[in-house]
Structure 1
């Protein structure tokens, strides 16, 4: 994570604090994420980032992949809440991501991926065994 937080882009002349955001990839993920802070967008790599935000008013935080269309998750961070969030990308790109307090977010779509890929793996294994049996004759 960079030492210096990204400055707040909106007008604000009150006290500030630092939002620490940890983004985690899903099973399938784009190269990076787009973080929106009160409408200003920042393209970031996966991992940790710091943003300067107002300390005396709610801040709207949105994280997405693919220019805002994939894995979207949003929250409003109030002044009373700790300024640390975690984003977790989904297991399938057509699902929403999750955002919340660190350690509380879960990856969406793991069971869907299992339901899709387990039968395909079983079919591929059956095909390999069948071909092996036919070639050994």
Structure 2
């Protein structure tokens, strides 16, 4: 996965005098999502829009990566991982379909969208209730 063109990587915020590498993180939104997600690299938080972002990270030690969304003042869709020193510096975050579920972060092409069944069931129940209500309204209107 290539870093986005034309934008420099976000510098590492912690103290590290050793070698560095570029982590490319692809943020993919879930079925229900806000305008952005928050990426945490070793505890430093970066609000980012959906899409690809590059971060400068240490190359000689593990790096903690967490991604979450803010929803009504709380964290939703949290996903965490530790990127070891020799691992390929590319990750993908996929937000959940339902914000009560966790997101997923991992190597590109391996993450899935959690909560799709739950969200489908909720939307299906809402559709059935709406249909029953409309049939009731039609029944009342034709019986007058």
Taking structure 1 as the reference length, the TM-score comes to 0.91
Partner of 1:33: 37
- Is 1:107 aligned to residue 113 of structure 2? yes
Q: Secondary structure at the match of 1:127?
A: helix
Q: 2:100 aligns with which of 71, 94, 99?
A: 94
Shift of 1:31: 2.0
| Runs of at least 5 residues in structure 2 that lack an aligned partner in the other structure | none
CA RMSD between the two structures: 1.7
Which residue number corresponds to residue 84 of structure 2? 78
Q: Distance in 1 between matches of 2:44 and 2:137?
A: 56
- Deviation per CA, 1:27-48, whole angstroms, max 9, x where unpaired? 1112211111111111111111
Aligned residues: 137
Q: Structure 1 regions of 5+ residues with no counterpart?
A: none
TM-score by length of 2: 0.87
Name segments (4+ residues, structure 1) moved above 4 Å. Answer: none
Distance of 1:12 and 1:117 partners within structure 2: 48
For 2:140 and 2:27, locate their aligned partners in 1 and report how far apart those are by CA, in whole Å. Answer: 49
* Larger deviation, residues 59-68 vs 24-33: 59-68
